[in-house]
Amino acid sequence: MSDVRRLERQILVRLSPELADAIEAAAEGRGISSAAFLRSIASDAVAGATPRDRQRSPRKTARPVISAEEAEIRGVVRSLGIAGGAAVQLTKTLREQGQPEHAAAEVVVRELREAAAHARDLVRRFAP
């Protein structure tokens, strides 16, 4: 949870794309979030607004946009991690039960880890 205080209520408002763009531009020009910009206008327009209602939240930085290919590679890395974790648990169980298949499972774990490392390298190499 963020260090910024949380307000208890929210109101959903639907806007035209043009109005939403204008609000976002005005907020960005002031270095605040769109929500803080609208809170400021609303608190100035109604009686009984408290100083807390007028607090400004800083503009959040946008996450970098990633390509579809990068998102797909990241998904593969995540899937390899999940599969690797499951393989480790399987290998552990086979070893504890004295099953001879644990040696083959350990090879699979090693290969999954290598594949995940290779996929992570691809993400680093081709990420913008």
Mean residue pLDDT of the chain comes to: 79
pLDDT in tens, 66-81: 777 777 877 888 888 8
Q: Which two three-digit tokens encode residue 22?
A: 């204008």
Residue 1 has pLDDT above 50, yes or no: no
Q: Which residues contact 53 (CB under 8 A, 6 or more apart)?
A: 39, 42, 43
pLDDT in tens, 88-104: 899 999 999 999 998 99
pLDDT in tens, 105-119: 999 989 988 888 888
Specify the pLDDT at position 49.
62
Question: Is the pTM here over 0.85, yes or no?
Answer: no
pLDDT in tens, 38-76: 888 887 777 666 666 555 555 556 666 777 777 787 788
Tell me what the mean pLDDT of segment 29-33 comes to.
81
Contact 27, 56 (CB under 8 A): no
107, 111, 112, 115 alpha-carbon torsion, rounded to 10°: 180
Between CA 52 and CA 8 the distance in angstroms is: 12
Between CA 104 and CA 91 the distance in angstroms is: 9
